[in-house]
Copies of this chain bind each other. A is one copy, B any other.
Amino acid sequence: MTTIKDVAERAGVSIKTVSRVLNEEPHVRAQVKERVLEAARELDYKPNRAASRLAGGRSFLIAHLYDNPNPSYISALHIGAARRCRELGYHLVVEPVNSQDKDLLGLVRRLFATIAPDGILLSPPLSENTEFVESVRQLGGRIALISATHGDEWTHISTDERGASKAIMAHLLGLGHRRIGFVRGHPQHFGATLRYDGYCQSLVEAGLALEPALVAQGYFDLQSGLEATRSLLALPQRPTAIFASNDEMAVGALMAAREFGLNVPEDLSIIGFDDTPMSRLISPALTTVRQPLEAMGAAGVETIVSPDKAPGDYLDFEIILRDSCAPPRG
């Protein structure tokens, strides 16, 4: 294995100079820098990160702590994060946990003591636990929060879920829907609240009444979506469209529609959120919202590696129009 010493020798400089060049520290002449870089290239030198870390530098590891609500969500984050990591010479360590675990903080502490990641990526629901986030912060590590907002605004990676919700509503209203049912997401999920906000704002801005009866509570799982939609469809004056706060509940909504003998989208339009793989596979395919999850994972890594870079704006969402929406009957 070639080491920094070999590179130094070949370039005719000291190892410290090589270190400087490789870490982009100042005070190296352009000419020397070039010489070092070339030597490194020729020897195919790759720094030993265990040594970097031990000497007080970075570990080039980023840990993603998550409690898995949804494989495709996590998977997409991983792909985006890992790709960016690779570009930056980092590596992504995954730590699936149980968010109910009493000793979560102990796990983080152990993480720092053993592999000392340069930062920690937190996704919902972990990123929404203010107390936990603060504790982790106090342990000294850098943090990037996916889809959550509290404390330092620099560290947040999110899409404008409220805006996405409004865009979906605009679509529905544009089709002519006036009675739109809403299935709320898990009460502790921050994004769920934003999605609901968007729903409410859209109605108000359209000059429509906000009927509490048209809003039902769900918990992001199929069953709750099914039950919530049942209650909505049982209304004397039933909605012509259902906006579910995520895809899984939208599938529940679809089942409820079937129970009521309603055709989707002719008799009932249905909207999901998240664009899980399933929303494409189900019939009719769901109109839904896609968050740029890979970009969010990448942005999280970015935030950790270069915390002083410009605070990221919202990342763009995308409305995926498929077959579950149509103008209302009559």
- List the interface of chain A (C-beta within 8 A of B): 1, 46-51, 53-54, 59-61, 63, 68, 71-72, 74-76, 78-79, 82-83, 86, 89, 91-96, 107, 110-111, 113-116, 222, 248, 251, 255, 258, 277-278, 281-283
Contacts and interface: CB of A to CB of B under 8 A. Distances in A.
6 contacts: A48-B116, A49-B50, A50-B51, A93-B93, A278-B278, A281-B282
A222 B283 CA distance: 12
Given A46-B113, A91-B93, A281 B283 contact: no
Contact of A114 (B48, B96, B255): B48
A114 B71 contact: no
A95 B113 contact: no
A96 B82 contact: yes
Contacts of A61: 93, 115
Nearest to A283: B255
How many protomers of this protein does the assembly include?
2
Query: For chain A, what secondary structure do more than half of its interface residues adopt (helix, strand, loop), or is it mixed?
Result: helix
B79 A49 contact: no
Contacts of A63: 91
A71 B222 contact: no
B91 A115 contact: yes
Contacts of A46: 110, 113-114
A79 B68 contact: yes
